[in-house]
Amino acid sequence: MADGKTLEFNLEPCATPVHASERERLLENPGFGSLFTDHMAMIRYSEAQGWHDARITKREPILMDPASSVLHYAQEIFEGMKAYRLADGATALFRPEENAKRFQASARRMAMPELPEPLFLKSVEALVDIDREWFPSVEGGSLYLRPFMFASEVFLGVRPAKEYLYLVIASPAGGYFKSGASAISIWVSEHYSRAAPGGTGAAKCGGNYAGSLIAQAEAIEQNCDQVVFLDAAEHKWVEELGGMNLFFVMNDGTLVTPPLSGTILPGITRNSIMTLAREEGLTVVEQPYAIDQWEADAASGKLVETFACGTAAVVTAVGTVRSSGGAFTIGSGGPGQLTEKLRRRLVDIQRGIAPDDHGWVKKLF
Ligand SMILES: *Cc1c(COP(=O)(O)O)cnc(C)c1O
């Protein structure tokens, strides 16, 4: 049975790629998540054969039987990462091994097979290679990569499936939030939880997002950009946004972020920011932070900045927090100095502008 380490990708280049002039036009205004490249990576898994049938092929619809297990019981996980064009023209990924490891951790939680790290990396790298003409020309642009896997077995019985399909698609991306939004507003969800102790909050699975969408829709209704979730047990502790981790900057040089207690997604951006903040001389503490404390600290001036972070939106300042009980402003309501400094440090490393002292940047070609 293939252990995945020796599995080779069959290259089947698309015979009808988007014409170069049309591609150039599309890449001038890529937006987020609606434009895709010519190819995709694909690997099959079955209990009998293990990992097999690895391909780089043209991006096209996939046929699914209506009884495919994922459509009923939602055994699905994904990753989100970016390929960057560096200042010297090279192409690079940012800490891709961390995505590979997290994909395995998500698979374990969802009772799915773990894709070997070399196969994950090869699939992503081969896709970036064949679609290398798809990097957006816009400032801050990147090639967003979406590896994902789902239960493809045709079976309605309730148990972990015996067949899976792993795919990687690529989407040229500009900025995540519409330009002009320098600090976002967030809505405190009172009625809904994202994750409970013992649940799937630390796994990157589609189901977590499905359950959070109603709260995100409520945030939009309340004229806020994003929703913030509190812990499910006490509805007291600030956890994270629907898809981004949170940091709180105190006036004594302390940076607070909620601990990875199993209900929070272990963000790679979160981890990188903690390292960079320590290097900036900040004291980084992972500790629970209560919603009432957040408001009190913002009012007293103890809390000077709050920011959210994740691959898609990088580092984004939180300006205002609203709930059914009222609203409060953080600092001046705009992006603070430290938020901007940490964002800059991270982006400069990702873009090859600043030296990569941590070995985070993996150059491809
Ligand atoms: C993906 C994700 C994040 C951010 O993780 P990064 O590795 O930094 O992109 C944060 N929260 C949730 C719920 C996520 O799904």
CATH number where 207 lies: 3.20.10.10
Q: Are residues 130 and 272 in the same domain?
A: no
Q: Tell me, yes or no, whether 224 lies in a domain.
A: yes
Q: Tell me, yes or no, whether 229 lies in a domain.
A: yes
Q: What is the pLDDT of residues 155-206, one digit of tens each?
A: 999 999 999 999 999 999 986 655 445 899 999 999 999 999 999 999 999 9
Q: How many domains does the chain have?
A: 2
Could you tell me how far CA 23 lies from the centroid of its own chain? 25
Q: Tell me, yes or no, whether 211 lies in a domain.
A: yes
- Residue by residue, DSSP assigns 245-295 as EEEEEETTSEEEE---SSSS---HHHHHHHHHHHHTT-EEEE---BHHHHH
Q: Are residues 71 and 149 in the same domain?
A: yes
Residue 87 confidence (pLDDT): 85
Q: Are residues 19 and 163 in the same domain?
A: yes
HSE-up of 94 (CA within 13 Å, CB side)? 28
Q: How far is the CA of 49 from the centre of ligand 1 (A)?
A: 32
Cβ atoms of 145 and 131 within 8 Å: the answer is: no
Q: Are residues 188 and 336 in the same domain?
A: yes
Residue 174 confidence (pLDDT): 86
Residue 145 near ligand 1, beta carbon < 6 Å: no
Ligand 1: which of 94, 244, 346 to mutate, judged by most atoms within 8 Å of the beta carbon? 244
Residue 1 confidence (pLDDT): 54
CA dist., res. 232 & res. 41, Å (int): 37
Phi, psi values for residue 150, rounded to 5°: -145, 160
Residue 226 confidence (pLDDT): 96
Q: Are residues 104 and 141 in the same domain?
A: yes
Q: Are residues 322 and 303 in the same domain?
A: yes
Residue 80 near ligand 1, beta carbon < 6 Å: yes
CA dist., res. 161 & res. 274, Å (int): 38
Q: Tell me, yes or no, whether 362 lies in a domain.
A: no
Q: Are residues 18 and 162 in the same domain?
A: yes
Q: How far is the CA of 26 from the centre of ligand 1 (A)?
A: 27
| Parts of the chain with a pLDDT under 70 | 1-4, 175-181
Residue 70 near ligand 1, beta carbon < 6 Å: no
CA dist., res. 189 & res. 47, Å (int): 41
What CATH number is attached to the domain comprising 95? 3.30.470.10
Domain's final residue, options 173, 199, 217: 173
Residue nearest to atom 10 of ligand 1 (CA): 244
Residue 204 near ligand 1, beta carbon < 6 Å: yes
Residue nearest to atom 2 of ligand 1 (CA): 243
Q: Tell me, yes or no, whether 148 lies in a domain.
A: yes
Q: Give the domain range for residue 96.
A: 10-173
Q: Tell me, yes or no, whether 158 lies in a domain.
A: yes
Q: How far is the CA of 281 from the centre of ligand 1 (A)?
A: 25
* pTM for this entry: 0.96
Atom of ligand 1 nearest to the CA of 81: 9
Q: Tell me, yes or no, whether 22 lies in a domain.
A: yes
Q: Which two tokens stand for residue 361?
A: 């940047």
Residue 320 confidence (pLDDT): 97
Domain's final residue, options 119, 150, 173: 173
Phi, psi values for residue 158, rounded to 5°: -90, 100
Cβ partners under 8 Å of residue 154, min gap 6: 65, 67, 68, 69
Q: Which two tokens stand for residue 359?
A: 């070995």
Q: Are residues 193 and 339 in the same domain?
A: yes
Q: Are residues 239 and 107 in the same domain?
A: no
Residue 181 confidence (pLDDT): 55
Distances from the Cα of 249 to the Cα of 255, 256, 320, 340, angstroms: 5, 7, 15, 12
Number of helices followed by number of strands (H, E) in the chain:
8, 18
Q: Are residues 220 and 162 in the same domain?
A: no
Q: Tell me, yes or no, whether 361 lies in a domain.
A: no
Residue nearest to atom 6 of ligand 1 (CA): 267
Q: How far is the CA of 25 from the centre of ligand 1 (A)?
A: 31
Q: Are residues 60 and 125 in the same domain?
A: yes
Distances from the Cα of 257 to the Cα of 83, 142, 151, 198, 237, angstroms: 27, 27, 34, 21, 11
Q: Are residues 138 and 207 in the same domain?
A: no
CA dist., res. 239 & res. 193, Å (int): 10
Domain's final residue, options 173, 194, 222: 173
Q: Which two tokens stand for residue 254?
A: 């302390």
Residue 263 near ligand 1, beta carbon < 6 Å: no
